[in-house]
């Protein structure tokens, strides 16, 4: 069989969400930072993303990550996050998948009980602590870039839904946070298609408004490195209350109706109420949804680590073009 291109990949999943980690075949992308590499990739190699993420090799909820040499001396690997919708500055479940693959394939020096991996991402430095037992990755905790609120109590006219109130927050990607109650759509599995349509409509309306308005301040007010100029609203996050716990849906996850809360969306969701309370937030997005807050008076909210169990899927896969 003759192949024009060959990409080597390892498929993993994080609580059911897939991450196809590309470990070979792409080559080193040009750019002095991972954000510059992301922009170059979008302009010159985006066909690689669609080739690996969409059908017949992928599906509507497929995510992936391309490994690169780091562009900064304090990182072990560089990561470029890809998925069906585009190329992201950061992905929580994708980072957990990447860390799992790096340990399982021996692409980093593995130590027990914890292997720490520092990843150079377009959003900044992300640190993954991998719990290792008998040489295998058992669980991963990530320390993301700082999250922050960009806009509170904004509103936008959405065709079919009228004036919709939202908060705009960053947790690695920008999210418009909207209450499902304001839309009149119950947070139910049977209504997932309606949630998806609403989320996509809101995302388009907020994107159009931000594009027509003044330039956004794209950095954390006090701590985060400057965010990519091309950073955009990658997901709408619809939040509903279930008992005392917020539940989140990303547009790409609603289609399947059973996906877990996502790391970057959960961090953005926690930043908004923390900002209102003027508190720092330490958020652990684990199976217990545990959250701890410490009142530090003035200051800007910053989310804590995400913790999810992760499993390796196919140990190795070569994808031929």
For 138, the domain range is: 6-143+308-320
Within 13 A of 41's CA, how many CA atoms are on the CB side?
28
- On whether both 300 and 312 belong to a single domain, the answer is no
> Residue 275: what pLDDT?
63
Read off the pLDDT band of 28 (50, 70, 90).
Answer: very high
Task: Say if residue 93 is exposed, middle or buried (CB neighbours under 10 Å; 0-12, 13-18, 19+).
Answer: buried
209 falls within a domain: yes
How many angstroms separate the CA atoms of 134 and 137, rounded? 9
Confidence of residue 188 (pLDDT cuts 50, 70, 90): confident
| 91 carries an active-site annotation | yes
Same domain, 153 and 295: yes
Q: Give yes or no: residues 189 and 236 share one domain.
A: yes
Q: Do 26 and 130 belong to one domain?
A: yes
**In a shared domain, residues 50 and 194:** no
Beta bridge partner(s), residue 177: 167, 237
**Range 47-58 average pLDDT:** 95
**Domain contains 44:** yes
Q: What is the pLDDT of residue 191?
A: 83
The 10 Å Cβ neighbour count of residue 69 is 11
Range with the poorest average pLDDT among 51-60, 209-218, 240-249: 240-249
Residue 14 bridge partners (DSSP)? 17, 310
Mean pLDDT of the chain: 75
As for how many domains the chain has, the answer is 2
In angstroms, rounded to a whole number, what is the distance separating the alpha carbons of residues 156 and 131? Answer: 44
Model-level pTM? 0.73
If you average pLDDT over residues 193-200, what whole number do you get?
84
Q: Do 241 and 277 share a domain, yes or no?
A: yes
Q: Are residues 294 and 183 in the same domain?
A: yes
Domain assignment of residue 1, yes or no: no
Q: Is residue 114 domain-shared with residue 198, that is, in the same domain?
A: no
- Considering the domain architecture, whether residues 201 and 295 belong to the same structural domain is answered as yes
Question: 3-state secondary structure string, the chain?
Answer: CCCCCEEEEEEEEECCEEEEEEEECCCCCCCCCHHHHHHHHHHHCHHHHHHHHCCCCCCCCCEEEEEECCCCCCCCEEEEEEECCEEECCCHHHHHHHHHHHHHCCCCCCCCCEEEEEEEECCEEEEEEEEEECCEEEEEEEECCCCEEEEEEEEEEECCCEEEEEEEEECCCEEEEEEHHHHCCCCCHHHHHHHHHHHHHHHHHHHHHHHHCCCCCCCCCCCCCCCCCCCCEEEEEEEEEECCEEEEEEHHHHCCCCCCCCHHHHHHHHHHHHHHHCCEEEECCCCCCCEEEECCCCCCCCCCCEEEEEEECCCCEEEEC
Same domain, yes or no: 289 and 174: yes
**Angle at alpha carbon of residue 256, lines to 255 and 259, rounded to 5°:** 120
Same domain (yes/no): 138, 196: no
| Judgement on whether residues 168 and 219 belong to the same structural domain of the protein | yes
Catalytic position from the list 91, 132, 177, 238: 91
* 199 inside domain: yes
User: What's the pLDDT tens digit per position in 242-287?
Assistant: 443 344 444 443 344 444 556 776 666 666 666 665 534 444 444 3
Residue 166: strand pairing partners: 154
Q: What whole-number distance in Å separates Cα of residue 268 and Cα of residue 176?
A: 9
Q: Could you read off the pLDDT of 114-157 as tens digits, one per residue? A: 999 999 999 999 999 999 999 999 999 999 988 888 888 889 99
Is 208 among the domain residues?
A: yes
Contact predicate 89/227, CB 8 Å: yes
In a domain, 101, yes or no: yes
Task: Please report, for the domain that includes residue 159, its CATH number.
Answer: 3.10.310.10
Burial (CB count within 10 angstroms: exposed 0-12, middle 13-18, buried 19+), residue 100 = buried
pLDDT confidence of residue 40: 96
In a domain, 11, yes or no: yes
Question: How many CB atoms lie under 10 A from the CB of residue 321?
Answer: 13
């Amino acid at each position: 069989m003759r192949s024009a291109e060959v990409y080597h990949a390892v498929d993993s999943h994080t609580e059911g969400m897939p991450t196809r980690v590309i470990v070979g075949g792409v080559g080193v992308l040009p750019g002095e930072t991972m954000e510059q590499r992301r922009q170059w990739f979008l302009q010159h190699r985006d066909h690689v993303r669609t080739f690996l993420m969409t059908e017949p090799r992928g599906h509507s909820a497929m995510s992936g990550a391309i490994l690169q040499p780091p562009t900064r001396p304090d990182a072990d690997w560089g990561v470029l996050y890809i998925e069906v919708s585009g190329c992201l500055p950061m992905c929580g479940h994708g980072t957990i998948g990447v860390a799992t693959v790096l340990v399982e394939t021996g692409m980093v020096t593995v130590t027990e009980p914890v292997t720490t991996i520092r990843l150079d991402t377009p959003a900044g430095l992300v640190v993954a602590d991998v719990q290792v037992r008998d040489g295998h990755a058992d669980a991963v905790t990530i320390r993301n870039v700082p999250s922050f609120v960009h806009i509170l109590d904004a509103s936008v006219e959405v065709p079919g839904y009228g004036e919709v109130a939202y908060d705009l927050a960053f947790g690695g990607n920008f999210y418009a946070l909207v209450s499902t109650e304001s839309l009149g759509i119950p947070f139910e599995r049977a209504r997932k298609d309606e949630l998806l349509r609403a989320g996509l409509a809101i995302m388009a309306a907020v994107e159009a408004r931000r594009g027509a308005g003044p330039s956004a301040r794209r950095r954390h007010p006090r701590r985060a490195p400057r965010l990519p100029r091309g950073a955009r609203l990658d997901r709408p996050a619809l939040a509903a209350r279930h008992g005392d716990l917020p539940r989140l849906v990303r547009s790409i996850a609603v289609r399947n109706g059973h996906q877990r809360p996502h790391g970057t969306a959960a961090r953005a969701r926690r930043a908004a109420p923390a900002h209102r309370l003027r508190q720092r937030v330490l958020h652990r997005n684990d199976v217990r949804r545990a959250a701890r807050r410490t009142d530090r008076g003035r200051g800007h909210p910053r989310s804590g680590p995400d913790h999810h169990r992760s499993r390796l899927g196919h140990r190795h896969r070569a994808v031929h073009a």
